[in-house]
């Protein structure tokens, strides 16, 4: 059994790879709107997946946390444009108090190695 950890700190690793599965820590984005934060967040997911040898086409599961479900439609507009057609992962979306008040969205991803 092989477990690789990348960008490891005291509390977490940004990437954990176990055999042919990649687990990313929760990603948040920058910006003042849900659209900006979702775009930034998903760009970070793309970068980490590429570093781990995967891509958005190989995402198995995504968990999306919103600070308020009022942002659901706007987040989905960005999400729907980002997910390649025919490659939608299993996904859950819920409302949660995030780590900082300015954060509107957090995405957690599990993917297969490409």
Q: Check: CB of residue 44 under 8 Å from CB of residue 36.
A: no
Distances (CA, A) of 55 to 73, 94, 98, 104: 24, 24, 26, 24
Tally of CA atoms within 13 A in the half-sphere of 109 that contains its CB: 30
CATH for the 3-112 domain, from 3.40.50.300, 3.40.50.720, 3.40.30.10, 3.30.1330.40: 3.30.1330.40
Q: What is the pLDDT of residues 28-86, one digit of tens each?
A: 999 999 999 999 999 999 999 999 999 999 999 999 999 999 999 999 999 999 999 99
- The reported pLDDT for the residue numbered 12 is 96
DSSP annotation of 57 reads G
Q: Could you tell me the residue ranges of all domains in the chain?
A: 3-112
């Amino acid at each position: 059994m092989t477990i690789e950890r990348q960008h490891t700190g005291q509390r977490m690793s940004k990437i954990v790879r176990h055999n042919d599965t990649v687990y990313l820590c929760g990603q948040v984005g920058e910006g003042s709107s849900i659209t900006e934060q979702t775009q930034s967040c998903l760009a970070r997911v793309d970068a980490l997946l590429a570093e781990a040898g995967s891509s958005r086409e190989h995402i198995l599961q995504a968990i999306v946390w919103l600070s308020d479900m009022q942002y659901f439609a706007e987040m989905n507009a960005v999400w729907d444009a980002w997910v390649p057609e025919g490659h939608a992962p299993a996904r859950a979306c819920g409302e949660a108090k995030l780590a900082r008040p300015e954060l509107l969205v957090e995405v957690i991803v599990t993917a297969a190695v490409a």
